Amino acid sequence: MGTYNKIGEVTLTTKPPQEPEMPPAIPRPKPSKDINYDDYKPEVSQTTSAAKSGEVIIEPTNLILIGTTCYKTILFRTAWSLMDTLKKYPNTEMAFQNGVFVHENANQLVELAKSKGASHLLLIEHDIVFEPDTLGRLLAHDKDVVAAPYSGRKLPREPLVYQQNNPGEEPYMMSYDMFPTKLFKAYGVPTGCTLIKMSVFDKLTKPYFFFEYDEQGKMLMSQDIYFSRKINKANMECFVDPTIQVVHVGEMDF
């Protein structure tokens, strides 16, 4: 099936058998209409490359680094999502950053993407399963930061997407019934399946990702919201595409 030739690097020789799928206790939200991924034509801005005859080009023209944060292992379903993406988009490279702390892994992946001269960094966490056209669909939006939403690994399912009513107010987590049916702006996004333009990091101070705790040691802010807050403070924006279906794997598919 596959071997690990060193920590964080996996060599797959044959496709492993498919795990039996456990139906979620609560159905994942669906777009307002069924999407035929073979015929999908995402909306693009005027600055995004357009093909002849009205066809949308979503092939990356510059190097995109797909960076996976992990600790020793990743799920084989995640590995196949990554492999399918690499096959679909030739101008991509894959990197695994191994370590206990996800924020440190993400920061190191940013530095690696800089050293390679990448135009974008696609952050993928070790337990995320996604369709191979996800990269193209995120890229087509031509946003500084754009994420595919997913739930935390608990019930009831809640999207890890945050909004803020007014500047200075505490952000709140959205519910799925609040989701629009197309791309929307959010205060905070999860970074487990998120595409970031590398030019973003020229406007941010380090560390880009970090945790924050109160005096009692309780976590106030995860690396996702820490990064999103820095984006907002730098007068940039985060976006979410709710039509992209992503699975967050735990004891079941969330």
Q: Note whether residue 129 is domain-resident.
A: yes
- Asked if residue 229 belongs to a domain, the reply is yes
Q: Does residue 120 belong to any structural domain of this protein?
A: yes
Q: How far apart are CA 154 and CA 253, in angstroms?
A: 10
Residue 114 has pLDDT above 80, yes or no: yes
Q: How confident is the model at residue 197, as a pLDDT?
A: 98
pLDDT of residue 219: 63
Q: Does 31 map to a domain? A: no
Domain-embedded: residue 8 = no
Among 107, 133, 132, smallest CA distance to 121 is for 107
Dump pLDDT digits (tens) for 203-236.
Answer: 999 999 997 767 777 766 688 889 999 999 999 9
Residue 30 above 50 pLDDT?
Answer: no
User: How high is the pLDDT of residue 58?
Assistant: 59
Residue 157 included in any domain? yes
pLDDT of residue 11: 42
Q: Look up the CATH number of the domain holding residue 117.
A: 3.90.550.40
Domain interval for residue 94: 62-248
Q: Is residue 233 part of a domain?
A: yes
Q: What is the pLDDT of residues 157-166, one digit of tens each?
A: 888 999 988 8
**What pLDDT score was predicted for residue 59?**
66
Report how far residue 109's alpha carbon sits from residue 69's, in angstroms, rounded to the nearest whole number: 8
Residue 79's pLDDT is 95
DSSP per position, 11-60: EE-SPPPPPPPPPPSSPPP--SS---GGG------TTS-B-GGGPBP-S-
- The yes-or-no verdict on residue 76 having pLDDT over 60 is yes
Whether 182 is covered by a domain: the verdict is: yes
Q: What is the pLDDT of residue 235?
A: 96
Mean pLDDT of 97-124: 96
According to the model, what pLDDT value does residue 251 have? 82
Q: Is the pLDDT of residue 94 over 70?
A: yes
> Cis before residue 29, ω within 30 degrees of 0?
no
Maximum pairwise Cα distance, the chain = 60
Number of domains within the chain: 1
Average pLDDT of the chain to the nearest whole number: 80
For residue 14, pLDDT beyond 90: no
Tokens of 154: 């608990």
Residue 246 has pLDDT above 70, yes or no: yes
What does the pLDDT read at residue 13? 40
Q: How confident is the model at residue 33 (pLDDT cuts 50, 70, 90)?
A: very low
In terms of pLDDT, which residue wins out, 192 or 254?
Answer: 192
pLDDT, tens only, 166-210:
888 888 889 999 999 999 999 999 999 999 999 999 999 999 999
pLDDT score for 131: 96
Q: Beta strands of 46-161 (E only): which ranges?
A: 64-70, 92-98, 120-125, 128-130, 145-147
Look-up: residue for tokens 């995109």?
64
